[in-house]
Amino acid sequence: MRNSFAASVRSYFRSSNRWLLRTPERALDQAYDAAVIIKGLEEAHFGGNRVAFDSGNYSRSAQSYFESELKKNLDIIKIRLAEFKASSSILRLSSQATTEVQLGENSGDLLSLNVIDRPNLILKKLRFIDEILARYENRTTNPLSPVVVSQPRAIAVNSSERSSLPDSNSVQNRNTNQDKKSLVDKTSVLPRSILATVDRIRRDLDPEAEQQVVQTFRQSKFKTGIAIRFLLLLIIVPLLTQQVSKNFVIGPIVDRYRAEHEAADVFINYELEEEALDELQRFEQRLRFEILIGKVQPKEESEILEKVKEKAAEIEIDYRSIGSDAIKNIFSDVLALAAFAIVIVSSRREIAVLKGFMDEVVYGLSDSAKAFIIILFTDIFVGFHSPHGWEVLLEGVSKHLGLPPSHDFIFLFIATFPVILDTIFKYWIFRYLNRVSPSAVATYKNMNE
């Protein structure tokens, strides 16, 4: 008993010692990751230049988001560097400490490099962090300055950038060029279009322009793959959950319960009961009509009644199955919505990438294509013929769930929801599309007249 307690105490102190020895490396890695995120923002959204809020390329909300991300990561870098310096002054990062971390009992993994490569790695990380910090010293921002909204983009940093260490000389040369503000950002008497052309030529003549284009293409390809996979996931996961739960989980339970309770109601709502009675009545009337016109040999009343009873049994089986399917649909749809919610909650990064991808697709269309899509959607959902479509859709949903269609609710929904949707469309056109693409709004108005 004493040996076991002593062994547990030694194991606890050994793990605590390893955690303390890893503190400098852990703090440096966190600071380096924050620097890589800032570098990713620069490469993805500011053409390799530093994150600037007076460039006129993003909306006010986007500028606020960039500013908060930049401030957060700069604070992380400063705090973790202070932690790295303080812990390094206390602990000796010697080869003995590294060996203890690697070869300690129950460690099971090798988290450090060898003694020769480790100092070089630390120096590269520190140099990269210092270069990022140097670009944002004594910088002033005005996030509330008026801006012109441009094509929105998603914020996503390729995960492969975190594992790669940039060469110090290339990073230093590139950062020296990137510290110079682009010509478009400078105030000048020349028109912005001329400055933009000169700035584009300067970037095309940059020796590293090809490498930057390739890196931008890889990032765009990576984000597009994530967006498409996530979009397919949003569609496939709820559908699979609904079908699997309905056929293999909920279905057998409902079928067993309704089989054991034969006296249970055949019809789950009065609409189904009226449909069954109308079907049985039409069958009896058709049978008597065929006898009257001589198409069928005259039969006794008992024979006609027997035929009607057989048809009633068939109708009972059919409508009992319809009721069972409706009950199954209710529970399986709830599980499908739960699966959809779980995917949404657990995929925040993928949602941001998908939003950026959709923004690029929508805002990247031509003006005529934008106007065509807007008119198509507005005519389908809020146009003159849309009430009939909404009525059919709501009746289909009610039938799917086994609920009696309430015409009062349907009429109230049609009188309110399309109006709200039309207001949202008009607000979006006025608030966002009118800033991003005024020519698209003009084309939309001309096509809509």
Chain-centroid distance of CA 192 in Å reads: 35
In a domain, 328, yes or no: yes
- Is residue 119 domain-shared with residue 243, that is, in the same domain? no
Name the burial class of residue 227, with classes exposed (0-12), middle (13-18) and buried (19+) by CB atoms within 10 angstroms of its CB: buried
In a domain, 399, yes or no: yes
- Is residue 271 domain-shared with residue 331, that is, in the same domain? yes
Please report the pLDDT score of residue 282 as a whole number: 94
Give the amino acid at 185.
Answer: D
> pLDDT at residue 328 above 90?
yes
Q: What is the mean pLDDT of residues 255-268?
A: 76
> Who has greater pLDDT, 373 or 156?
373
> pLDDT at residue 441 above 70?
yes
Structure tokens at 159: 């995960």
Please report the pLDDT score of residue 195 as a whole number: 67
Alpha carbon distances (Å) from 425 to 74, 76, 374, 386, 388: 39, 41, 8, 15, 20
> pLDDT at residue 144 above 70?
no
- Is residue 64 domain-shared with residue 138, that is, in the same domain? yes
Distance CA 382, CA 417 (A): 9
Confidence bin at 8 (pLDDT 50/70/90):
low
- Of the candidates 134, 137, 96, 132, the residue with the CA atom closest to the CA atom of residue 115: 96
> pLDDT at residue 140 above 50?
no
Q: What is the mean pLDDT of residues 292-311?
A: 83
Q: Are 353 and 154 in contact (CB under 8 A)?
A: yes
Please report the pLDDT score of residue 416 as a whole number: 92
Q: What is the mean pLDDT of residues 92-111?
A: 42
- Is residue 43 domain-shared with residue 164, that is, in the same domain? yes
Confidence bin at 234 (pLDDT 50/70/90):
very high
Q: What would the pLDDT profile of 10-44 be if each residue is shown by its tens digit?
A: 666 676 667 667 788 888 888 888 888 888 888 87
> pLDDT at residue 251 above 60?
yes
144 CB neighbour count, 10 Å cutoff: 10
Residue written as token pair 């979006």: 428
In a domain, 427, yes or no: yes
Please report the pLDDT score of residue 54 as a whole number: 61
189 CB neighbour count, 10 Å cutoff: 4
> Who has greater pLDDT, 425 or 115?
425
Confidence bin at 6 (pLDDT 50/70/90):
low
In a domain, 412, yes or no: yes
Distance CA 32, CA 19 (A): 19
- Is residue 25 domain-shared with residue 172, that is, in the same domain? yes
Q: What share of the chain in percent tops pLDDT 90?
A: 17
How many domains does one find in the chain? 3
Distance CA 333, CA 401 (A): 9
Mean pLDDT rounded to a whole number for the chain: 76
Q: Are 157 and 36 in contact (CB under 8 A)?
A: yes
Domain boundary pick from 323, 351, 379: 351
Residue written as token pair 């932690």: 83
Its domain, for residue 416, covers 365-448
Please report the pLDDT score of residue 177 as a whole number: 46
- Is residue 167 domain-shared with residue 312, that is, in the same domain? no
Can you tell me whether residue 72 is helix, strand or coil? helix
The secondary structure of the chain in percent helix, strand, coil, rounded to multiples of 5, reads 75, 0, 25
Q: Are 22 and 111 in contact (CB under 8 A)?
A: yes
pTM: 0.53
- Is residue 49 domain-shared with residue 135, that is, in the same domain? yes
Q: What would the pLDDT profile of 175-188 be if each residue is shown by its tens digit?
A: 444 444 444 444 45
Distance CA 233, CA 229 (A): 6
- Is residue 17 domain-shared with residue 63, that is, in the same domain? yes
Please report the pLDDT score of residue 429 as a whole number: 86
> Who has greater pLDDT, 341 or 426?
341
> pLDDT at residue 148 above 60?
no
Domain boundary pick from 179, 211, 239: 179
- Is residue 156 domain-shared with residue 268, that is, in the same domain? no
- Is residue 151 domain-shared with residue 66, that is, in the same domain? yes
H runs (alpha helix) in 104-246: 117-134, 160-163, 168-178, 192-204, 209-244
- Of the candidates 16, 31, 144, the residue with the CA atom closest to the CA atom of residue 84: 31
Please report the pLDDT score of residue 141 as a whole number: 40
Domain boundary pick from 319, 351, 383: 351
In a domain, 202, yes or no: no
Q: Are 415 and 390 in contact (CB under 8 A)?
A: no
Q: What is the mean pLDDT of residues 100-114?
A: 42
Q: What would the pLDDT profile of 189-233 be if each residue is shown by its tens digit?
A: 556 567 677 777 777 777 777 777 788 888 888 888 999 999 999
- Is residue 410 domain-shared with residue 316, that is, in the same domain? no
In a domain, 32, yes or no: yes
Give the lowest-confidence range in 48-57, 200-209, 281-290, 320-329: 48-57
- Is residue 166 domain-shared with residue 28, that is, in the same domain? yes
In a domain, 170, yes or no: yes
Chain-centroid distance of CA 265 in Å reads: 44
> pLDDT at residue 243 above 70?
yes
Please report the pLDDT score of residue 370 as a whole number: 86
Can you tell me whether residue 365 is helix, strand or coil? coil
Q: What is the mean pLDDT of residues 70-89?
A: 83
In a domain, 68, yes or no: yes
Distance CA 289, CA 226 (A): 64
